[in-house]
Structure 1
């Protein structure tokens, strides 16, 4: 499959500041030679300092966007991000199931970088019951995993127990992100496919400019899945993509600046030129 024929859909919220949400997803798809499409679930007024407003799209409007994609541009992978409430989650999950779409990556977005809630508390059970069972890969961070499992995650043993609980909810692969272990010198993502536990380690970059890391990482996984990569390979490549984006982050705005979506390709081109 050539990249011109490879398509991925993001079902997520819009970030007016451009660092997260569908803007980050589409930038990631573009950088990875995947044609990106979107179904917007909510519009946020947002910048690097935080979220000033959240305006959910009516369910009918979300479903019509998804139906339009299926009618003409059926995707090879789907990434879900901010879904906000149980009504939206259940409606989206119903479409994903009805269309029998594969390569679904679920980023269980709950809290914005500045602390604003992006998922209502009443929607957590809907996320667990309706969406997670459809996922090829889910990518919770530690606070999100704590909400989904109902347990406190402090130790390595806690992390292993949590990913096994998450795996029992139905996804084929769980990636527990290590970005919130701020005291560690390495960022360690723990990957579990229902059988094998794999650790992906990278050096931790000391920067405040990490806005949109979760969105970018999960959409990179979706892009690589769309290209036909196996899930573990897709996760490894996405880890390299987001590591480059953080290492060469954009120091813009007054708060948490965004990651640099073109850093991965620039790094690879530089390596090729010096080889």
Structure 2
């Protein structure tokens, strides 16, 4: 059974369609927004007698309420070769299904943008409310071998709507920081939630002694190293510094990243999402 993401928006949606999030529109809602003249909002059921008596122009004043609105939710996914390591690909697919079903449950639309060297049409899903299309996409991803780099991420903004959307960025961020900085700069019109997939076997599970062959999954270059305690600690320190640099960069663009280093857990992501709006 697919679990549910409990996401909330720390901003008001501009969508005219009713939904579950705070909106900029006025309509059916519970939260009082302001008074308006009866001629501007012709609903006599909402006439406020006290405000009408106090109106210096002797007009009728009507109470209007904030409408709960929907939002477009997108999953922007890194599908480069490094995302094929360990269980990263399965985590991507599982999160795809979870995020889509959760969005549909809120009355939101869900879209997907998968990026490798470039953006291919088959890995694009415009915002919709079709669980069947999402399930078909997930099935295609299960049989795919991730290859190449994630350079296509730079062009992802062209496939997002103009209005502010909620964008989950799912990646291991194993690409240069200037590339990430350019990506985040292009996405500033949207609310970006970075989910960074790191598998601890990449660095924490290395032995203290022995010969280890490392391979770059994107260019297939290999290098054999003689592991020793000092080298192991150096590799771990490099990863820690990389994590620090990524956090600093994401925060510079107003986003707090969640590093997923253990088995995928919807509860962990939900705790993180709750902290965003606390």
Give TM class, smaller chain. 0.3 to 0.5
Output the TM-score relative to the length of structure 2. 0.36
Higher fraction of strand = 2
Output the TM-score relative to the length of structure 1. 0.37
Between structure 1 and structure 2, the one with the greater Rg is 2
